[in-house]
Chain A
Amino acid sequence: MSLGVAVETVGLAKDFGSIHALKDLNFKIERGQVFGLIGPNGAGKTTALRVISTLLLPTSGQAKVFDLDVVRDAREIRKIITYLPDEAGVYRNLSGKEYLEFMGRFSARNRNELDEMIRQAADICGLGERLKDKAKTYSKGMKRRLLVARALMTKPKLAILDEPASGLDVLHAYHVRAIIKRYVKEHEVTVLLSSHNMLEVEHICDQVTLINKGIIVAEGKPEELKERYGSANLEEVFAKVVGFA
């Protein structure tokens, strides 16, 4: 049953000079879905996410987030989304808690709300007492968990996560994926995530769109796609779609 549309792109294109990073991108994300934009490096995933998160302007076409236009209503969109960039860092000289407080203050309306956010974030990242330490003492996995917690703690209507488990080892990646899955269920957050790791996407996404060289090459539920292309996993699906297999 559809709960309505969270994100919709129509003919979305983005050029960087003579490079066409996105060409005629059309997709819809239902509310409450975990939607995966997947493809190899350089496919245009990050560009698409940056356009939807109001960082980049589309060259042509349209992108809407909860019926708000990314160009015209950018300010309003920023109130209901959070964006986690790929390989993002944290402020090295702030403690984990200070970082969360800093980020939380932009959304929290009062101290109680802020405290609740921090409590949520602490629960999500599971860093415990280490939240009091400076972020420069954190491992890569700890930083990523902190950032994922930051992206989810405000209970955004749409969380845009670029390679949320990038560079993490198996255990840390598993933990981050588990966090996202659990949080989405509990708080009905819509998630748009990108990944070049198609196996991980299978486990977390309700709906996926395969993108290559700026265009959509296949879309559907992971199980449907595997069935449609007679493949054991999404990696094989992708290889078949782009003609590698």
Chain B
Amino acid sequence: MRRWLALLKGFRNIFVKELKELMRDPKILLGMIIVPLIMFPVLGGIMSFSMQTAQEQAQKASVLVLNNDDGDFSAILISNLSTTVKVFVENATSPEEALSRNLLSHYNSTQFIEIPSGFSINMSEHLAGNKSVKASVKIYSVFSGSGMFEDLSSSMFDYFIEGFNRQFQPNIVYSERSSIIKGEIKNVDPRMLSTLMLSQAIAMPITIMILLTYSMQIAATSVAMEKEEKTLETLLTLPIDRFAVLMGKLAGSIFVAGIGAVTYMIGFNFYMGSFTSSFSAGANVDLVSLGLVPSLFGYLLLGISLFVTLLSALALAVILSAFAEDVRGAQSLVGYVYPFLFIPSFVLMYVNIESLPFALKMALYAVPFSHPIIASRAVVMGDYWTVAFGIIYVTFFTLAIMYAASRLFATEKILTLKLKFRGLRKNKKEPVE
């Protein structure tokens, strides 16, 4: 019994000491408790806002109806549809003609319904008792690869047709769906395409998130280790340009992170392939023939975008680690950048940046880590300007950070800078003996 009491006493003493040590460390407090408390509500807020926006947009959406039927039932269908959404009607127009005449952009719509000729006749036959005859409508939606909530507007049609059928007879009208990809009609259900593309939309942000996190840790550790072991002091007194020291360190981190990224991507590709291949086999969706894989130029742009972002992250990590005295301090400091990495990644996984309000959109564009994710989607859709803009922006950001890093390395600040967490003031009172 006495032994147990002694053990408990020892345990309690250590436990209380640990709690004091850990909870009084502002880096741990901020990184482990405050950041998640802020990050997740922010994420949740953005997600629910995006969902709401997508729903509102779906309700506000206008629909073009290509009416090729001259019967009464098509008139009823159009009239019913008008009560739900804003409807524009074009008579005797084929889908191909609608596209060639740019009718979608003319009516500011992203989808149209074709009521084929014979619609009313089929309805009448079905109602007369010939159940084998059914009427159909064809729904064409522009596929933008914009994320999780892209389906919302197209699912609205399901409810509408269900409601229309309820008015007459169950299953009297069925819908066929096609996608409009890069201005061409493809016989693929956009809902299926969205699901398939979503798996890819998740893969890229996760890969980028891990790659950037990993490389920032490497770079920060590499500088902090030199500071901790005082090998940096030795390096800085050698007959070598300090910019070369900085670049050498960055290049080393990039190389290791690059190997990590490649192995990670290979592994992740196998993982994603394990279910996308079975999915696409079943659904007969071939992304290559649909033009939904990046071109060689697209891959090149994506690679450049990823590279400049990686460089900006590494330079940032080097600067932050200059404020730390040791490896632990550097890793904690780098941790403050993670919300800027995680939030855009999570948001852009599910939400089209264009659907966000202006301020939020600008905030996401301002974060350099958003750009490779935006680029990964844009190259699929052939939107190279967006990628190019991102590359230019991140390059300028990187140059600014690199300049700051090189200035830091060129002066004594690399050795004397320390960040005081209370008030985040630079601590200049620390003597260096």
Enumerate chain A interface residues (CB-CB to B < 8 A).
Answer: 16-19, 21, 41-47, 50, 53-57, 75, 78-79, 81-91, 103, 106-107
Contact = CB atoms under 8 A, between A and B. Distances in A.
B431 A19 contact: yes
Q: Enumerate the 7 nearest inter-chain pairs by beta-carbon distance, A residue then B residue, closest first.
A: A89-B229, A17-B428, A83-B237, A46-B433, A88-B230, A79-B239, A85-B230
11 contacts: A18-B429, A19-B431, A57-B412, A78-B240, A83-B234, A84-B234, A85-B230, A85-B233, A85-B234, A88-B229, A88-B230
Q: Which of A17, A55, A57, A87 has the most CB of B within 10 A?
A: A55
Contact of A21 (B231, B233, B431): B431
A50 B240 contact: no
B239 A75 contact: yes
A84 B231 CA distance: 9
B433 A44 contact: yes
B238 to A, nearest CB: 5
Contacts of B231: 88-91
Q: Which of A50, A56, A83 has the most CB of B within 10 A?
A: A50
B429 A88 contact: no
A89 B433 CA distance: 19
A44 B230 CA distance: 18
Contacts of A18: 428-429
Contacts of B431: 16, 19, 21, 42
Nearest to A17: B428
Contacts of B432: 16, 21, 46-47, 50, 56
A78 to B, nearest CB: 5
Q: Is the interface of A mostly helix, strand, loop or mixed?
A: loop
A91 B249 CA distance: 14
Contact of B238 (A41, A78, A86): A78
B430 interface: yes
B416 interface: yes
Given A82-B237, A88-B230, A88-B234, A21 B412 contact: no
A106 B238 CA distance: 7
Nearest to B428: A17
Given A16-B416, A46-B432, A107-B238, 7 more contacts: A16-B429, A16-B432, A21-B433, A55-B233, A55-B415, A56-B432, A90-B231
B236 interface: yes
Interface residues of B, number: 21
Contact of A41 (B236, B428, B433): B433
Nearest to A80: B239
B429 A55 contact: no
Contacts of B234: 83-85, 88, 103
Interface in B415-430: 415-416, 428-430
Contact of A55 (B240, B412, B428, B430): B412
A52 to B, nearest CB: 10
Interface in B216-261: 228-231, 233-234, 236-240
A103 B238 contact: yes
Nearest to B426: A17
B238 A53 contact: no
Contacts of B238: 78, 103, 106-107
Contacts of B428: 16-18
Nearest to A41: B433
A50 B429 CA distance: 18
B433 A42 contact: yes
Contact of B412 (A42, A56, A78, A81): A56
Contacts of A89: 228-231
A106 B433 contact: no
